[in-house]
Amino acid sequence: MSMPGEGSAAVRFEPADGGLRGTLRVPPDKSISHRSAIFAAMTPEPVRVRNYLDAADTNSTLAAVEQIGAQVERRGGGELLIRGCGLRSPRATDGPIDVGNAGTLMRLLPGWLAAQPGTAWTFDGDRSIRRRPIDRIAEPLRQMGATIEPTDDRYPPFTLRGAELRGIEYVLPVASAQVKSCVLLAGMNTTEPTTVVEPAPSRDHTERMLAAAGVPVSRDGERVTVRRVERLGLDAIDVPGDFSSAAFWIAAAVLVPGSRIVLEDVNVNWTRTGFARIVERMGGIVSGELEPAGAFTPGEPVSALEIAHGPLRGTTVEAAEVPLAIDELPLVALLGCFAEGETVVRGAAELKVKESDRIQTVVDGLRGLGAGIEATDDGFVVQGGSGLRGGSIGSHGDHRMAMLGAIAGLASREGVVVEGMDAAAVSYPGFTQDLARLLAR
């Protein structure tokens, strides 16, 4: 691995001869960090948040909750003390709420603010966020009584006007934890119960945090129902290690011969670990106490994961699996390049509206490194067995694409230059340093 200079966006990743070895603690969970800051801001008493992720996206969330009246005390070592403004007392803002590149923030925070009658809030962000549609949250919030005025009927910047909301039953057209969370946060403020019906399970971090805060929330199969609450009751939140960050090391250890690594204190919530199950099906070795499917507790389960290299075989990922591995599907494409046979992902059109069009950027990027891969309307098909030659790949400003390129370089024959590697700081600021530790002998 070579870094051409401090602050440079281009980094070369050489083949990892001899494998990756060692023990690593991955960064705090990004999804739960976002929710921790928002929930703490809605709580009238101070909330201690431990192991908060210090990264661009999650810092955008801290800035946003400060803008609407919360006080954030940064105590070092990932510990925060957040003094919230209460469920129904956010402060009006002088200017737009800047979400940066944080899609989770853009889709969750409006659920809370939509329930503030007589208020108006404008949301904006970076160039990437302005290409990400908000119609999926606009539709249910409008049904509940709020007003949303987007750009070109679909995109940020948009203005949200709060109202006395009514409870609804909303059937999600596509499984989405972010849209589900938005509706549930709004539903805490409605007189009638609010129910979200999912076509397939998605991440349930919001439901678990609602339960921990004393909010009446229940799940019955695909139906999640929340009822009105007057105040939240939280005093501390511990953020576990991010499985989506761990997934890059899982892929690296499975791909590179001679690898054996241990990842400590990883969140193994079953709604997040779909990638681990796909890897095991493909022949990779993943050992640890993964939470059984269907479990639901107010807290997040944590385990150490031991990963080792193993010969891979192709697999098919169907639509029902996609929400439980949505951020890791590009890594499935990478694994498919080294697996015997064909690897197919279906039902993943949601990838087109991430930080980049991840279907096209993954297909174009891996093809440029020598992969036999084709895009489909809702996924991709990989012809495996030949691995990757190497070359250059662009991140397109997408943190997950940057780290994908790095792992591809480790497993390639000639190495890979990642253009825009600095994008990794959005979720994993210490990625290259952690890689250096796993490569050190």
Question: What is the model's pLDDT at position 181?
Answer: 98
Query: The tokens of 208 are what?
Result: 């678990």
pLDDT at 354: 58
pLDDT digits (tens, 9 = 90+) for 18-74: 899 999 999 999 999 999 999 999 999 999 999 999 998 999 999 999 999 999 999
Alpha carbon 258 to chain centroid, angstroms: 30
Extract the tokens encoding 228.
Answer: 């009105």
pLDDT for the residue numbered 71: 98
Rounded-to-integer distance, Cα 99 and Cα 206, Å: 19
Residue 323 pLDDT? 87
SS3 298: coil
The mean of the pLDDT values for the chain is 94
Q: What is d(CA 103, CA 294) in angstroms, rounded to the nearest whole number?
A: 26
Q: What backbone torsions phi and psi does residue 120 show, to the nearest 5 degrees? A: -140, 135
The share of the chain scoring above pLDDT 70, in percent, equals 97
Angstrom distance (rounded) from CA 19 to CA 419: 24
Question: What is the signed CA dihedral for 281, 286, 287, 291, rounded to 10 degrees?
Answer: -70
| Amino acid, single-letter form, for residue 310 | G
Query: Which H or E run contains 432?
Result: helix 431-439
- Find, among 60, 162, 46, the residue nearest to 101 by Cα: 60
Q: Which of 240, 204, 244, 217 is nearest to 424 (CA)?
A: 244
Return the sign of the alpha-carbon dihedral for residues 367, 418, 425, 291.
positive
Cα–Cα dist 266/304, whole Å: 6
Domains detected in the chain: 10-28+240-439 (3.65.10.10), 30-238 (3.65.10.10)
Q: Residue 99: is its pLDDT beyond 70?
A: yes
Q: How far is it, in rounded angstroms, from Cα 130 to Cα 151?
A: 9
pLDDT > 60? residue 412: yes
Is 398 in contact with 423 (CB distance < 8 Å)? Answer: yes
Contact 111, 145 (CB under 8 A): no
Binned at pLDDT 50, 70 and 90, residue 3 comes out as: very low
Residue 321 has pLDDT above 80, yes or no: yes
**CA 210 – CA 208 distance, rounded (Å):** 5
Residue 8, pLDDT > 60, answer no
Q: Over the stretch 277-315, which tens digit does the pLDDT of each residue have?
A: 999 999 999 999 999 999 998 889 999 999 999 899 999
Decide: 14 and 415 in contact? Cβ < 8 Å: yes
Q: Is the pLDDT of residue 252 over 80?
A: yes
C-alpha distance across the termini of the chain, in Å: 14
Paired strand residues for 302: 267
- The predicted pLDDT at position 94 comes to 86
Choose among 398, 199, 136, 177: nearest CA to 269. Answer: 177
327 is catalytic: yes
Contact 98, 113 (CB under 8 A): no
pTM, entire model? 0.89
Options 29, 98, 327, 398, the catalytic residue: 327
Among the listed residues 252, 265, 243, the one whose alpha carbon sits nearest the alpha carbon of residue 30 = 243
Q: 96 near 67, Cβ under 8 Å?
A: no
One-character DSSP codes across 127-161: TTGGGS--HHHHHHHHHHT-EEEEETTTEEEEEEE
H/E element, 276: helix 274-282
Q: How far apart, in whole angstroms, are the C-alpha atoms of residue 232 and residue 222? A: 25
According to DSSP, the residues that pair with 218 across neighbouring strands are 225
Quote the CA–CA distance of 54 and 117 in Å, as a whole number: 33
